[in-house]
Structure 1
Amino acid sequence: MKRVLWLLASLPLGLMAACSATNELVFEDNFDGNGLPDSTRWTYEEGYVRNGELQYYTVARPENCYQKDGYLHIVCRHDSAFIANGRFGKAWATPVDTTRCDSVAPVTSASITTKGIAEWKYGRVEVRAKLPDCRGSWPAIWMKPAENTYGEWPKSGELDIMENVGYDLPKVHYAIHTEKYNHTKNNQKRHTVDCATVATDFHLYGFEWRADKLTWYLDGVETYSVVKDEEGWEAWPFDQPFYLILNFAFGGGWGGSQGVDLEGLPQEYVIDYVKVYR
């Protein structure tokens, strides 16, 4: 039986500044329970959230997010009948932005976060996961600021620990976004590595955050790093607490840029465990 350990409550946010040691385990979930994920560790995003994606993120719906036998399953589904019956009580045709005024695809998924529950400044994140295999899939492990200290995105930063898009399955992507460096300017700091078995095997996605350096790992091997070489929040807003997000998007500006395969659904994004050290 895997342990579920919750240690964050004993540590005030921002207690530890950058240091050489990141070995104190402050958050762990091995998903040992059955049913919905632990509400003392995770909360949900809801709705059509970003990037013109097709999926509607549901809240506490086991068809889209559940734990069983020591694994968390985030499931993206083609739920045409469920949505047509108005089960969610939402205005499904209401566009999120002007690019989506004509129709809404009946796709559901989940995005869970530690927002408002657990947030960290500096440390190491480890997530062992197996990714979905479908054109349109866009699973991710990433972090956003607990407060927009420097302003709305991208001013306060974004840390992308792992992203993958189904039309280019073997590739694992890393990136940061800041006011000075972000994808809208086509100058974000990013890196891509090949991993042929992302959808057939579990892999360990690691990320270490220090005051002056960010480092990414795949299965314990360092694969990318970004060093702070400029002063000022515009280039380096990573001196504030961030929270963790695990989400399974479908379609959208990147995931759907080569089309989507609705017939390939349902698909699962499976997480073995999450650990955070400081």
Structure 2
Amino acid sequence: MNRRQTLGVLGAGAVGLLGIGRAQESERPSEGGPPDPEKWTLAFEDTFDGGTLDTDNWEIGWGWGRNTSISEARIVDENVTVRDGRLVLSGGHDGSEVSTGGVNTKNKVTFGPGSYLEAKIRFADREGFHNAFWSKPNSEAWPPEIDVVEQWHDEDSPAPTRQSHHHLHYPTSAEPGDDDTHENIGVRYEPGDDITENFHVYGAEWRSDHVTHYVDRERVRRWTDETMLESMANGAPFYMMVNLHINSIGSADMDEEWTEVMEVEWVRLWRTTLSQTDRRYFWARSSGEEPAKFAFRTDGGAIELDTEDPSVDYWVSQDGTTAGGTAPRASSLPGFWFEGEVVDFAYEGPIEVFIDNEHRDPDSLVDDTTAGPPLM
């Protein structure tokens, strides 16, 4: 029985397999990093030391394009440069034409619950400039949104160069894309110096039971609202954006030349490595003579393959929310550690499924309201 039609292309949650970017699991950077670093694995890192933008990981623009509906600013290639080991985003204007810089990882580097994203940034200082390191669903359904950090400068901002902003946006209906129920929660933070003159490390930890903002590894605020967390999980996977917006908050002086820039030394994405007592376990096998294909999706993410054998025909999406493979008929097969619940399942061929060593009816795991996770 084929409960799903095999998809011809990977879904957004399956962009890349097992290991992304240039990071190696043995690497442990000397600065930044999540709390309890022994529980995390570095999955992606860009230190911008190649002299040009790495287009395997980044595209120039916001994820949806080069323009927005809230200002006249347009992202252009010329305002995105990599030099001296830094990503440099600049703003400019020619009469009424406003240009700016920004990059995104849509369809390239995505993530879900069980992730920690961080960047080392120095912000541009000018009224009307809106610096941001943030993320939203790869599907473009908004809200939800995680703003790791923002810095803006308008005439009403108290001490704008000495404070960062950290926000979450979500629909109270928990349905991604429902902006009629949009809720915005956030906090300001003062690190004690001018953040347009000095670099700081800004991070956000996304787990199934909380989202926490950090500056220089100091906790800013932990958010635990259940509706917010459900909305975030429903919107996963997310992608990252780093951009300098202009005239979205405040107004820049169009009679002056702009020379200020936003600089980024590095961007990283970590994934949790949970202890076995904190994780659940999924495994499957063919119940017939022929192998069975399968794929499953979780709401907690942090999926990890329980083997290093390269001959095993299994895969895990780079955001850690989806996994699957081809299972033979065997009594002893590796499985997958994961967090949360299995929320969708697809399969092709005769199959038996076990979660935490409990035999489960595969059809009971299928969500018929979705396209399903991709079979590969």
Question: Are the counterparts in 2 of residues 133 and 166 from structure 1 also a CA contact under 8 Å?
Answer: yes
Name which of 8, 18, 22 aligns with 1:10. 18
User: Cα offset for 1:183?
Assistant: 9.3
Q: Does 1:162 align with 2:181?
A: no
Name which of 153, 159, 164 aligns with 1:172. 164
Structure with greater strand percent:
2
Secondary structure of the corresponding residue to residue 54 of structure 2: coil
Are residues 110 and 184 of structure 1, via their aligned partners in 2, closer, same or farther at CA, if it must alter by over 3 Å? Answer: farther
The aligned length equals: 225
The corresponding residue for 1:188 is 184
State the TM-score, normalizing by the size of structure 1. Answer: 0.73
The corresponding residue for 1:199 is 196
Query: Equivalents in 2 of 1:276, 1:130: separation in Å?
Result: 19
Are residues 266 and 185 of structure 1, via their aligned partners in 2, closer, same or farther at CA, if it must alter by over 3 Å? Answer: farther
Question: Are the counterparts in 2 of residues 163 and 172 from structure 1 also a CA contact under 8 Å?
Answer: yes
Secondary structure of the corresponding residue to residue 55 of structure 2: coil
Name which of 64, 75, 78 aligns with 1:57. 75
Query: Equivalents in 2 of 1:30, 1:134: separation in Å?
Result: 26
Secondary structure of the corresponding residue to residue 188 of structure 1: strand
Name which of 93, 99, 112 aligns with 1:108. 99
Secondary structure of the corresponding residue to residue 111 of structure 2: coil
Question: Are the counterparts in 2 of residues 43 and 114 from structure 1 also a CA contact under 8 Å?
Answer: yes
Query: Equivalents in 2 of 1:198, 1:132: separation in Å?
Result: 9
Name which of 23, 29, 41 aligns with 2:46. 29
Query: Equivalents in 2 of 1:33, 1:79: separation in Å?
Result: 31
Query: Equivalents in 2 of 1:276, 1:232: separation in Å?
Result: 19
Secondary structure of the corresponding residue to residue 166 of structure 2: strand
Q: Percent identity?
A: 24
Secondary structure of the corresponding residue to residue 48 of structure 1: coil
Query: Equivalents in 2 of 1:22, 1:162: separation in Å?
Result: 24
Q: Once superposed, what is the RMSD of the aligned Cα atoms?
A: 2.5
Q: Does 1:41 align with 2:57?
A: yes
The corresponding residue for 2:8 is none
Secondary structure of the corresponding residue to residue 39 of structure 1: coil
User: Which residues in structure 2 correspond to 1:92-131 (within 5 Å)?
Assistant: 105-122=96-113, 123-131=115-123
Structure 1: stretches of 5+ with no match in the other structure = 1-7, 13-19, 81-104
Question: Are the counterparts in 1 of residues 137 and 235 from structure 2 also a CA contact under 8 Å?
Answer: no
User: Cα offset for 1:147?
Assistant: 2.0
Query: Equivalents in 2 of 1:206, 1:187: separation in Å?
Result: 21
Equivalent residue letter for 1:164: Q
Equivalent residue letter for 2:215: L
The corresponding residue for 2:85 is 70
Query: Equivalents in 2 of 1:66, 1:158: separation in Å?
Result: 26
Question: Are the counterparts in 1 of residues 171 and 179 from structure 2 also a CA contact under 8 Å?
Answer: no
Query: Equivalents in 2 of 1:193, 1:275: separation in Å?
Result: 21
Question: Are the counterparts in 1 of residues 92 and 257 from structure 2 also a CA contact under 8 Å?
Answer: no
Name which of 227, 239, 255 aligns with 1:243. 239
Q: Which moved more, 1:239-248 or 1:41-50?
A: 41-50
Deviation sequence 1:46-70 (CA, Å, 0-9, x none): 43224x2231111xx2x30111111
Question: Are the counterparts in 1 of residues 130 and 150 from structure 2 also a CA contact under 8 Å?
Answer: yes
Secondary structure of the corresponding residue to residue 33 of structure 1: coil
Q: Which moved more, 1:223-232 or 1:183-192?
A: 183-192
Question: Which one scores higher on RCO, CA 8 angstroms, separation ≥ 6?
Answer: 1
The corresponding residue for 1:135 is 127
Query: Equivalents in 2 of 1:222, 1:183: separation in Å?
Result: 29
Q: Does 1:272 align with 2:290?
A: no
User: Cα offset for 1:11?
Assistant: 4.1
Question: Are the counterparts in 2 of residues 211 and 239 from structure 1 also a CA contact under 8 Å?
Answer: no
Question: Are the counterparts in 2 of residues 77 and 267 from structure 1 also a CA contact under 8 Å?
Answer: no
